[in-house]
Structure 1
Amino acid sequence: MRRALDALYACAAFVAAASLVTIALLVLAQVGLRALGSQLPSADDFAGFALVATTIVGLAPAYRRNAHIRVGLLIERFPLGYPVRRALERGVTAVSALLVGWAAWHTIRFVHESYVYNEINQGLVAVKLWYPQSLMAFGLLVFFVALLDDLVTDLAGGTQSHLAAHAGDAMPVEK
């Protein structure tokens, strides 16, 4: 199971990175084409789609590597290993999982509606909106799985991924 989850997180990281590279390539193409008196149709639309994919699909990998910006005003008042801190970490992870799960559910419904109603973007290049929206749903779903993964790991006596990354511990790998 650990290998499958790690592969899922690696896939999300790859998609987020590829989306970021897409933005860079679109910007370079636009600069080059404008110098030649031309332009790439709907480049801003595609860059916007890629920006959303980079941001949302990158949530789970960033979270697991402790690269998220966390507001730890209350939690950081307690030392690591202290029972109150552990309870707060569990509570925050559980509430986060509920909120992200709720957002993922409604995003999936939103994508389904776009598919059913065949919604098309308003740019020069017609794109069915459920294509880029699917990346947003995928990213939220993977983030939800990552939060559940950490919650289950914590309840089983392990260390949440972002705490292990913060401490510099090696993530245990199931063989």
Structure 2
Amino acid sequence: MVAICALIALQVTFRLVDALLVLVGLSRLGMSITGVSEIASYLLVGATFLGLAYTFVHHAHIRVTLLITRLPPAIRVWFEVFCLIIALAISLMLSYGLVGLARESIQYNDVSSGFVSIPLWIPQLVLAFSVGLLCLALAEALLMALKTAIRDPSGFREAVAPDDSEEY
């Protein structure tokens, strides 16, 4: 995120200097960072995807629990297991697809179509790695939910996000 901010701030500064020079009647310097928008967009997507597993582990994803909170804990834990299985299956398919996409990009030497030719396998591998981390987090949560469902289903409590005001 710092790199994105630095690139954008530098680009805005260069444009501002050029605009001020034109305003006072001087010629533009033409300073700019080529391909800054492409680089910033790849960094933004990578940073967003890298946060998926962390956000899941800290229970900060938005969950719609209107229906399952009304169920008894012994039934609710099995709904949790079912939802985690579905989430893990979707994440595994996404991870598999992203690895395949990165392999194709390496095989065919795919590059971005902007001013700067960035090899596409680099951001694609970041996405695959990020979704792989999410798969690990989902697998761990699934194992813990299964353990609770088998050993003590009536003692199941949903994990909640800690309050922002709490100190860690």
TM bracket, shorter-chain basis:
0.7 to 0.9
Q: Report the equivalent of 2:117.
A: 126
CA separation in 1, counterparts of 2:102 and 2:66? 36
CA separation in 2, counterparts of 1:167 and 1:35? 43
CA separation in 2, counterparts of 1:122 and 1:139? 24
The answer to whether 1:34 aligns with 2:15 is yes
CA 1:78 to 1:166, structure 2 compared with 1: closer, same or farther past 3 Å? farther
Q: Report the equivalent of 1:65.
A: 58
Q: TM-score, normalised by structure 1?
A: 0.75
Amino acid aligned to 1:166: A
Deviation at 1:75, TM superposition (A): 2.1
The answer to whether 1:83 aligns with 2:74 is yes
Across the aligned residues of Structure 1 and Structure 2, the Cα RMSD in angstroms comes to 1.8
Deviation at 1:73, TM superposition (A): 2.8
Of structures 1 and 2, the larger Rg is shown by 2
Question: 1:75-114 residue pairs with structure 2 within 5 A?
Answer: 75-78=68-71, 82-114=73-105
Q: Report the equivalent of 2:40.
A: 47
CA 1:166 to 1:113, structure 2 compared with 1: closer, same or farther past 3 Å? same
Gaps in structure 2 of 5+ consecutive residues: 19-30, 150-157, 164-168
Deviation at 1:167, TM superposition (A): 6.5
Equivalent pairs, count: 143
CA separation in 2, counterparts of 1:154 and 1:138? 24
Q: Report the equivalent of 2:161.
A: 166
Q: Deviations over 1:39-91 (max 9, x none)?
A: 21111101110111122111000011111112223223336xx1111111111
Q: TM-score, normalised by structure 2?
A: 0.78
CA separation in 1, counterparts of 2:90 and 2:83? 11
Q: Report the equivalent of 1:3.
A: none
State the identity %.
Answer: 29
Amino acid aligned to 1:109: G
Amino acid aligned to 2:135: F
Q: Which secondary structure state, in structure 2, belongs to the residue aligned with residue 98 of structure 1?
A: helix
CA 1:58 to 1:167, structure 2 compared with 1: closer, same or farther past 3 Å? closer
Deviation at 1:165, TM superposition (A): 4.8
